[in-house]
Amino acid sequence: MAQLWGGRFTKETDRLVYNFNASISFDKKFYEQDIRGSIAHVTMLAKQGILTEEEKEKIIAGLKDIQSDVESGKLEITEEYEDIHSFVEANLIDRIGEPGKKLHTGRSRNDQVALDMRLYTRDEIEELDRLLRELLEVLLKLMKENLETYMPGFTHLQKAQPVTLAHHLGAYFEMFKRDRLRMKDIRRRMNYCPLGAGALAGTTYPLDREYTAELLGFDGPTLNSMDSVSDRDYLIELLSAMSTVMMHLSRFSEEIIIWNSNEYQFVDIDDAYSTGSSIMPQKKNPDIAELVRGKTGRVYGALMSLLTTMKGIPLAYNKDMQEDKELVFDAIDTTKGCLALFTGMIRTMKFNKKNMENSAKHGFTNATDAADYLVNHGVPFRDAHGIVGKLVLYCIDKNKALDDMSLEEFKTISPVFEEDIYDAISMKTCVEMRNTIGAPGKAAMEKAIAAGEAYLQEE
């Protein structure tokens, strides 16, 4: 049991208490950020004359050695230390002796952990952003390839009106684009450096907090020391943004599971992204999509959990806040994993375009357009709605699509129908007539794709 704070105590910590309290098993994840923060801290201490240049050099060299030894596997982060901060400091003192004992001058673990978590989160936000971008690129590519892939658009999971695959995927493009904007926004708001807040009330040393903030790539120092050590808002924001990413991935997964079902057969998930059954030889299951949908619950859970943890904590630091780490780490790893796998799955998925188009045809998705045809020939809309309703009933009875009716059949229901009805209700016409901003028509979609491309070029 290696602790930084033995001085005031006369008894050893109970082993169970030690284990309950320790965080090294999970905060070892940010050893790199801890060392990065310490290097900036001593650089500032030396600039301010609080440490000598020589002490600074020795400390930095020692810290860099620790980092490379951890990375090469020569040095293992073991659980005999209470947390990653103790591990690094104890190792430094072992290596360089006296100067190592000065590392923690003008610093508390409270501002140290606040810094480490921010640095870690900021790095991970960049990674999340990169993964979202990759997904957007795959979506845009698929959109470009499927401007004329007709499929039913649904409401209530009932076939409604024809759209294109490009249009359907374009809806997700917008969702994931907003997810990226949320990440960017969180990064901007959280990018202030808490180091120098001390335990809660700043320090008596003449620290240059602006300098440390600059060294670590922050936009400036945080402005209230009590807030600095007890703010976890940015983690709650990130958990919320990741919950939204997962919600989007989960909806999309649900659709892919439906599309991949024996009844729909709109898509074939690649063998590399499917699994089989131990008993039923014919099975090829969409497990990845199901797992993405399932793991969404973990990320929502982390959000609720941290909100609940934070709600009763008086200012300033309290140990409750140590609970932020496992939740956030797990949620980040889950979201990143799901994004990467989901992107791979849709990149390799086959779209059965014929089945999609047939499904649109046989679901009366062009019924609205048949009514519009009558309106264009002088029939009031309400009457047209009734006439087409009768047509649909007739087709259901005869088990055919609207397009499969003969002109005579059309005419027995309304004499207004002429030969041009076929063109008016073809999938192509139904989609291509819809060209207002955001609609599925090719011209409108081409504009949406150009806007998507311009966005990806800028961001």
Please report, as ranges, the residues that interact with ligand ARG according to CB under 6 A: 23, 27, 83, 109-110, 113, 317, 319, 321-322, 325
**What is the C-alpha separation between 9 and 129, in angstroms, rounded?**
47
**Rounded distance between C-alpha atoms, residue 213 and residue 64, angstroms:** 20
The CB-of-189 to ligand ARG minimum distance in angstroms stands at: 21
Which residue, 232 or 293, has its beta carbon nearer to ligand ARG?
A: 232
Q: Give the nearer residue to ligand ARG in terms of CB position, either 259 or 317.
A: 317
Q: For ligand ARG, give the closer residue by CB, 200 or 413.
A: 200
Minimum distance from residue 127 beta carbon to ligand ARG (Å): 22
Nearest alpha carbon to residue 199 among 373, 66, 5, 19: 5
Comparison of 38 and 110: residue with beta carbon closer to ligand ARG: 110
The CB-of-90 to ligand ARG minimum distance in angstroms stands at: 15
The token pair at 150 is 């007709």
Question: Which residue among the candidates 72, 156, 278, 406 is catalytic per the annotation?
Answer: 156
Q: Which residue number, 110 or 343, has a Cβ lying nearer to ligand ARG? A: 110
SS3 at position 267: strand
Assess whether 248 carries a catalytic annotation: no
Looking at beta carbons, which residue is closest to ligand ARG? 322
Phi/psi for 277 (5° steps) reads: -110, 145
Instruction: Look at residue 160 and give its three-state secondary structure.
Output: strand
Can you say whether the dihedral through the CA atoms of 292, 181, 114, 28 is positive or negative? Answer: positive
Residue 88: CB minimum distance to ligand ARG, A: 13
| Nearest distance in Å: CB 27, ligand ARG | 6
Which has the closest alpha carbon to 23: 87, 104, 89, 91? Answer: 87
Torsion of Cα atoms, 53 then 59 then 61 then 65, to 10°: 180
* DSSP assignments along 296-328, one per residue: HHHHHHHHHHHHHHHTTPPSS--GGGGGHHHHH
Quote the least distance from Cβ 201 to ligand ARG, whole Å: 13
| Minimal distance, residue 262 CB to ligand ARG, in Å | 50
Residue 199 CB, shortest distance to ligand ARG, in Å, is 7
Query: Could you give the count of Cα atoms lying within 13 Å of 288 in the half-sphere of its Cβ?
Result: 23
Buried b (16+ CB within 10 A) or exposed e, 4-38: eeeeeeeeebeeeeeeeebbbeebbbbbbbbbbbb
- The catalytically annotated residue of 277, 278, 406, 414 is 277
Identity of the residue, 176 or 317, whose beta carbon is nearer to ligand ARG in the bound complex: 317
Classify the phi-psi angles of 375: left when phi > 0, otherwise alpha if psi is within -120 to 50, otherwise beta.
Answer: alpha
Please identify, using beta-carbon distances, which residue of 80 and 185 lies nearer to ligand ARG: 80
Residue among 70 and 235 whose Cβ is closer to ligand ARG: 235
At 275, the amino acid letter reads T
Phi, psi of 350 (to 5 degrees): -100, 135
User: What are the residues whose beta carbons fall under 8 Å from the beta carbon of 344, sequence distance 6 or more?
Assistant: 273
Give the residue among 433, 363, 434, 359 at the shortest CA–CA distance from 395: 363
Alpha carbons 130 and 136: distance in angstroms, whole number: 10
150's CB contacts (< 8 A; 6+ apart) are 162, 163, 164, 356, 357, 360, 427, 428, 431
Q: Is 277 an active-site residue?
A: yes
| Residues carrying an active site annotation | 156, 277
